[in-house]
Structures are given as C-alpha cells and as structure tokens.
Structure 1
Amino acid sequence: MLGIKVELIDKIGMHSSDTAMIFLEDVKVPASHIIGEEGMGFTYQMLQFQEERLWAGAAAVVPFYKIIRDTAEYCGQRKAFGQPVLSNQSVYFRLAELATEVELLRSLLHKATAQYCMGHNVTKMASMVKLKAGRLAREIPDACLQYWGGMGFTSDVLVSRFYRDFRILSIGGGADEVMLSIIAKEMNILPSKKK
C-alpha cells in the first residue's frame, strides 16, 4: 500500500501473534476514520493500561494451573531411581507452593477486578496483579520444565511453549520495574527527583 510499510519482527515466542513495525509516510486519514479525539492517543493508551494489566493476570491464571497439573501428572508417571518423580517431597512441595502462589494471584485479580467494575482507581492493584503474573510467568514454567527433564526442552510439550510465550508478561504493558515504580508511587514512598 502506498505510504505504508510493514516490517514483521521475529520473536522467541508468541508466534501466533504478529508483531511489526508500521511506517506511515504521507498517509492521509479522513476525519471520519479518526477514533476518539485527535491528539488524545497517548492519554487513551495510559487509561487502558489498567485493563491490560488486569487482563495479563486473568490470561495467566488458568494456564498456570494447567502447567502445574500437567507437570504433576507427568511426574507421577516418570520414574527416576525406580520411583515416580512425584514421590519426592521436594517435587510435590514445590508444586504445592506454586499452586498457592497462583491462588494468591487469582484472589488479588478478583479483588482488583471487582474494584475496577465499581469504578474505583485500581492503578496500584492492577500493577500488583501484572507484577505478580509476570514473575510467576517466569517462575512456574521454569520450575515445571525442570521436572520434565529432557522432554521439557522439546517443542512437543506445552510447558516448553509456556516457557517461551509467557516471558512477555514481565515486559508487555509495562516491565516489572515500571510496575514497582507505580506501586511505590501509589504507596507514597517513591523518592522525589531533585532538580
């Protein structure tokens, strides 16, 4: 298309979602095609972040439980040293701990979503949801993949896909460090910048 150039970006994960750089040169947009008020794009983007951050948590909860459940089932069948891997206390304790973390995320997500639906400012809670979801997105697939052994390093099992694809949760919609800054600001503990 004249004036529009699209360059697809190759990513390590999320292959079902195209990511691209779009370049517009001398492209005219008719006034009837403008969404919202002209010049308000950045403001609209900032306002939608709370919904995106809540979505990040919501989109992760069920897959987190699935990864843990699939890993427990696999470890119940996989044998090492003559016994199922799941019979090791360190394995079933770790899976129980991960399930507890997911339940805590789910509870925070429900509370934040309820507050959002009532029209309350959920900047702090949505940032906490996003932060926790992003951190669990690294911790759960990594821990579970370890229990799959060499099979976990193949593309044949779902845990390896989650290991790749979920990494974006700590980056997209605001990195962990951005979430921590927002939370600190909302707690009134963010140091002021001296000029």
Structure 2
Amino acid sequence: QSIRTHATPDGDEWVLNGSKIFITNGIHADLVIVAAITDPGKGAKGTSLFLVDAHAPGFEKSRKIDKIGQHTSDTALLFFNDVRLPAEALLGDENSGFIIMMNELPRERLGIAAQAIAASEGALDITLQYVQEREAFGQKIGQFQNTRFKLADVKTEITLNRAFYEQCARQYAEGRLTADTAAMLKLASCEMQCRVADQCLQLFGGYGYTAEYPISRFYVDARIQTIYGGSSEIMRELVARSILGR
C-alpha cells in the first residue's frame, strides 16, 4: 500500500517514475526487480514487477547508506526518472506483482531465519572460547554458575530454533510451508538472535563493547533482523490472524 513508484504504458514501452529506499545491494546491482503501480484503482492488486537495467537512462543510485551494522551488505536509495522499459521488461503478468511477492515471502523469511540461527551459533562459539580463557577472581569465568546457566539457556534456544527451522525447510522443499508458519519461524529465530547476541556480549564485559572483539559485530548485526523482511510486530500480526482472523 505504500508503493509510490508508478509505471505507465507509452506505446509498446513502459515509463517508470519513483524511488525506492533501503534496497539491499542497490549500489552493486546491475539488474533490479522493481515493484510499481500499474493500475492505481486496484490498490495492491494493481502492482506489477519489472526487470530494470541499472544502466538505463534515468536510473540513479544514491550514496551508500551508513548503517550501524551489516557493513558487508550495501544499502541504497534508487531513483527512477522517466526510465523507459521495453514491453518484455514486465515480469509475469500485468498487475500480478503483489501475488508474486506474497508467494516469495515464506522463502525470504526462511532465509532470514537461517541467518539468525547461524549467527547465534557463531556468537555462542566465540563466547565459549572466551569464557574458557578469561579469568576473574582467580578462576575462568566459564566456571561461574551464572556463566554456565546463561550459556546453557543460549544453547537450548539455538537448538530449539534449529529444529523448527529444519522442519520448515522440509515443508518448503515439499511446497507446504505456509505464510503463518514462516512468520512464526522468523519471529522466533530473529528475536532469539538478539537475545543471544546480548547475553554473549554481556559475558565479555567491557571488552564486548569494543570493536576489537567480534562479539560486538554480532550484536549490531543482529539488531536489523527483527526489522527487515517483515518486523517482529508484523510477524505477530500474521500469526494472530491465522488463529483469530482479522
């Protein structure tokens, strides 16, 4: 409903105007898929998808957005000023863009969940190494009951989420993964990732708050996971609709 980019027919071509924000890999992309309104009177059902050459006249890229985390993935604003597209640039049928995008959401959320679980496992690995080397009050901090219990909780959460992920991956491979199940997976795994990163950083003490120690990167990289690909609030609403209706 918030799409402001429009594509209007002009003979055997389309003319694209508008902009997009927070586009992952927007700086490096040579080809982008753009969702644009082609029939304003139909709302979401008037959306179409177009394949757009990043070198086409009228296509402009902003500077790379300076994020607090995930620095290896560039994020950009894209601008379309009277970009002329051939008829064959239309991806799928006209006005079918919304349906195509909705059908892809479970796969996207499955991928984000995989990131969340793998990153959580990585954070746990480096924390386990640290607590078995770092000493405080005459003993390794991994020997303190608080440390042991915290890491036991972290390991349990990761194991449960991985089991759910593997179940969802099988369902996706069999064409059975539903939107609400994918939403539950993304919600659970990404919220877990943030908790795990926070708990692990805490065990590093002040060192965890420095860029010198990689746990700080796990921490800042985790924060976006509950926002992009559908925020945790949206995931909760999707799950609620599946059990309570709209």
Compute the TM-score of the two structures, normalised by the length of structure 2.
0.73
Equivalent residue, structure 2, for 1:4: 59
Distance, in Å, in 2 between the alignment partners of 1:77 and 1:26 is: 60
Q: 2:90 is matched with which residue?
A: 34
Per-residue deviation, 1:121: 4.1
1:118-129 equivalences under 5 Å are: 118-129=174-185
Using the TM superposition, give the Cα deviation of residue 92 of structure 1 relative to its aligned residue in structure 2, in angstroms: 0.9
Partner of 1:159: 215
Determine the C-alpha separation between the residues in 2 that align with 1:17 and 1:39.
31
| Corresponding residue for residue 108 of structure 2 | 52
The Cα RMSD (Å) is 1.5
Cα distance in 2, alignment partners of residues 43 and 16 from structure 1? 31
Secondary structure class of the residue paired with 1:29: strand
**Secondary structure of residue in 1 paired with 2:83:** coil
Counting only pairs closer than 5 Å after superposition, residues 139-150 of structure 1 correspond to structure 2 as: 139-150=195-206
1:75-117 CA-to-partner distances (Å, cap 9, x unmatched) read 1111111111111111111111111101111111111111122
On the 8 A contact 2:117/2:193 being kept in 1, the answer is no
Structure 2 residue 187 is the aligned partner of structure 1 residue 131: yes
Q: Which has the higher strand share?
A: 2
Normalising by structure 1, report the TM-score. 0.91
SS, match of residue 95 in structure 1: helix
Aligned partner of 1:14 among 70, 75, 92: 70
Residue 20 of structure 1 aligns to a residue whose secondary structure is: strand
Structure with the greater alpha carbon radius of gyration:
2
The whole-number CA distance in structure 2 between the counterparts of 1:31 and 1:42 is 19
Higher relative contact order (CA 8 A, sep 6+): 1
Tell me how far 1:63 sits from its aligned partner. Answer: 2.3
Identity %: 36
Counterpart-to-counterpart distance in 2, 1:20 and 1:36: 26
Aligned residues: 190
Helix, strand or coil: the match of 2:91? Answer: coil
Question: Do the aligned residues in 2 keep the contact of 1:112 with 1:122 (CA within 8 Å)?
Answer: no
Distance 2:177 2:134 in 1: 48
Partner SS state of residue 65, structure 1: helix
Partner of residue 169, structure 2:
113
* Stretch deviating more after TM superposition (93-102 or 156-165): 156-165
| 1:58-97 aligned within 5 A | 58-97=114-153
SS at match of 2:85: coil
Decide which structure has greater helix share. 1
